[in-house]
Chains A and B, each alone.
Chain A
């Protein structure tokens, strides 16, 4: 591992020796030895459950190792809490944000300081940092009104406020557009050039190759390899992670001319709160066998579009949403499900699933109306048929390879990837004729993401239509037949995926044509 040699000897900023963490029978970390040099961007790769989060939590002090030592600047340290980690100079941006929705950006940032600080000072400093590192953010905005992408910026800036020497980033680009990601990379390069180190956890191997000069790969709690990702291919990195070659997603290419499954006719919806996006005159047709990919930067109306099609928000015009020939604008989400539609929202916890409830209850959550006769018995008493629900849950867990610690754990106990597989599988199990899915693989590891994408393609091949909202362009190009772009509540006319380039999409995302006019095809 060569890094540009200066006159001073290069020694690790942080080193671990024999870190072991045991949960019951499971060795989540097994004698982990690794090190990060000063001024490098170091990738930590591995599948879900490989032990990355455990290791990072130990470094950050939120977990304690059973064995092993951590050396900081060559000195053994015992980090017992995140605040001690921060005092040492370790900052972390989590994948799941810890923000209070009812507070403003500045208030949220101020909360992470131990001593009393003036809110104005925090605001000013945050604005300065956000400008300096190209992460635009309004300190007085309420967090509840911000998109996922904007919330992440708060976390990054909050971390930078502490002036850390090591920054740990967990899946930072999963909510960003390519352009936004580029800006983030510029930020990271600047931080690196200032002599800071960055530990970068990502499932996007292209990115890792682009920005990281070293990579450590974990599998089943152990370090299995370390390499310079720039000298590897995405394929070779992926196979190191999963221990075998992962199958590429297979898609049949060809024109889709099946019957019309979903039609949106001049769908417009006013914004429901000051920071929401209004939907403007959206027209879209999805046919049997078609996967329509909807690209766009977070917070451009994708969530609102999902709510409008699903019936969580009803329309004023019955004909603006037509599902399988039925005007559905006045129908609620249960009635739309009964027409044959299925929905997978962006947020897994608290929207697609109730975290404290077990999987069988979460199965019932989305299917009590569509599976009326199997999941309920005794007529209008609506007694829950537990056995049928347990069967369906087992079926979905097997087909989707949902890995769980118990037979029927609470949804919140599953890792992100496994819960996502369950939530997607819950809908696929119904064989819906229409599936609306928002961010199908956000924060999901490579193996699970490939599994989910393949199952979407298989569903379409059986004659269903799929609307897939995603900010991941790789995913859109991999899966979708046709692509439309959302910007500021408008949706561009869908165009065959084969005739679109990343650059065209990037331009449209940044707010190209205002109406659903054509794109250069």
Chain B
């Protein structure tokens, strides 16, 4: 007996939309079973996980703070992945974007001007884009594998930022801790609400999602991205250049990762320190696929993933559920989303080697 995945003739339209909700429901059921096996009340656990963070203002802010860089980076990655360019190094572009964006407030600490923030954001984007340009040019000129080069550049970026905050840019009055001086107020991204941790980066993420969604679904550029991703030879026939697309896709995703970096530095940390690399650039790969490479879907996916992080922390604190259990729970979510998506396009067929009925 053998189990096969067989492609369906047509994917059900209704279920394509229902799939994420179905996956969520299945995760809740499986999660409830897991929590009761652990001897916890499943209802309380799920409440702590998914509802409580939404009712508490502090947790709500934290969700937005975490979802913002995830969404910004994942939207850029969606452009890359749809065009068949595998940028795995968003974490590096995020770090370099944060560092280059911090140049002005660090070097000209006293400069106060309404121009400062826009310049910081622009420089952050430029920094991320330039850093992404390295694997792009290596791929389009020399045919190197962008997965390897972009990934390796992450480690280089981590070392560069680490050196900068311990060496030339270290705050002399920082008690020896690695990190720059805190920025002056005109270099800090305003809060979204009064006395909130959530900053305007969230607005950037939503605007970016709308703009990139429009580009991908309504314009010739978006069409070009899909064609080159699905069939490079047909793309050539259409007059599209795969090499230029590699550069475009990397610059776009690098710029957005850079924007995420400087928004995090300027809006959350308010200085550059050695704790900027939290793995957002890698988690964003999951977010991009959970959101099906659709910018609007990515907003939702970033929110849900951030919720599961914050909810997981809350469950650890208030219910003593172990860190491992919360990670299993996140794994379940991912598993069900991917399984539901797969089963929309494929059916499971059990074939037997015995002769008989089909």
Chain A interface (Cβ < 8 Å from any Cβ of B): 64, 78, 80-81, 310-312, 332-334, 337, 343, 345, 347, 350-357, 361, 364-366, 368-369, 376, 381-384
Contact = CB atoms under 8 A, between A and B. Distances in A.
A381 B239 contact: no
B230 A333 contact: no
Given A78-B355, A355-B231, 6 more contacts: A333-B237, A361-B227, A365-B238, A368-B223, A382-B219, A383-B218
Name the 6 nearest CB pairs between A and B, nearest first: A334-B239, A382-B220, A354-B231, A333-B239, A365-B238, A354-B234
A64 B220 contact: no
B55 interface: no
A332 B236 CA distance: 10
A384 B237 contact: no
Given A334-B239, A354-B227, A381 B234 contact: no
Contacts of B227: 354, 357, 361, 365
A365 B219 contact: no
Given A350-B233, A356-B230, A64 B358 contact: yes
A365 B237 contact: yes
B230 A312 contact: no
Nearest to A352: B237
Given A64-B358, A78-B355, A351 B234 contact: yes
Contact of B237 (A351, A364, A376): A351
B253 interface: no
A366 B231 CA distance: 14
B233 A361 contact: no
Contact of B219 (A333, A334, A357, A381): A381
Nearest to A378: B219
B226 interface: yes
Contacts, number: 68
A368 B231 CA distance: 17
Contacts of A310: 237
Nearest to A368: B220
B244 to A, nearest CB: 11
Given A365-B238, A366-B238, A357 B220 contact: no
B221 interface: yes
A365 B234 contact: yes
Interface in B58-98: none
Interface string B190-234: 000000000000000000000000000011110100110011011
Given A78-B355, A337-B239, A357-B227, A351 B233 contact: yes
B13 to A, nearest CB: 12
Contacts of A357: 226-227, 230
A343 B237 contact: yes
A280 B193 CA distance: 71
Nearest to A386: B218
23 contacts: A78-B355, A80-B351, A334-B239, A343-B237, A347-B233, A350-B233, A350-B234, A351-B234, A351-B237, A353-B234, A355-B231, A361-B223, A365-B227, A365-B237, A366-B237, A366-B238, A368-B238, A368-B239, A369-B239, A382-B219, A383-B218, A384-B220, A384-B223
Contacts of B358: 64, 80
A332 B239 contact: yes
Contacts of B236: 312, 333
A361 B351 CA distance: 37
B58 to A, nearest CB: 42
A330 to B, nearest CB: 14
Contacts of A352: 234, 237
A350 B219 CA distance: 22
B237 A345 contact: yes
Contacts of B220: 364, 368, 376, 382-384
A311 B239 CA distance: 9
Interface in B318-358: 351, 355-356, 358
B143 to A, nearest CB: 13
Nearest to B224: A368
B351 to A, nearest CB: 8
Nearest to A353: B234
Give the most central of B220, B234, B236, B355: most A CB within 10 Å: B234
A312 B239 CA distance: 7
A82 B240 CA distance: 39
A382 B214 CA distance: 11
Interface in B269-312: none
Nearest to B236: A312
Give the most central of B231, B239, B355, B358: most A CB within 10 Å: B239
Contacts of A81: 351
Give the most central of A332, A361, A365: most B CB within 10 Å: A365
Interface string B233-252: 11011110000000000000
A334 to B, nearest CB: 3
A248 B356 CA distance: 50
B224 to A, nearest CB: 9
Nearest to A351: B233
Give the most central of B220, B226, B355: most A CB within 10 Å: B220
A114 to B, nearest CB: 12
Contacts of B233: 347, 350-351
A31 B356 CA distance: 21
Contacts of A369: 239
B6 to A, nearest CB: 12
A353 to B, nearest CB: 7
Contact of B231 (A345, A350, A364): A350
Contact of A312 (B218, B219, B226, B237): B237
Contacts of B238: 333-334, 365-366, 368
A337 B356 CA distance: 57
Contacts of A64: 358
Nearest to A347: B233
Contacts of A80: 351, 355, 358
A78 B356 CA distance: 8
A355 B7 CA distance: 15
Nearest to A332: B239
A112 to B, nearest CB: 18
Given A312-B236, A366-B237, A369-B239, A354 B230 contact: yes
B219 A384 contact: yes
A368 B226 CA distance: 14
Given A78-B355, A357-B227, A364-B223, A384 B218 contact: yes
Contacts of B239: 311, 332-334, 337, 368-369
Nearest to A337: B239
A331 to B, nearest CB: 10
A59 B218 CA distance: 46
A299 to B, nearest CB: 17
Nearest to A79: B355
Give the most central of B223, B237, B238, B351: most A CB within 10 Å: B237
A312 B221 CA distance: 19
Nearest to A64: B358
A361 B220 CA distance: 10
B240 to A, nearest CB: 9
A384 B217 CA distance: 9
A381 B220 CA distance: 8
A78 B114 CA distance: 79
A381 B211 CA distance: 12
Nearest to A367: B238
Nearest to A361: B223
A361 B230 CA distance: 13
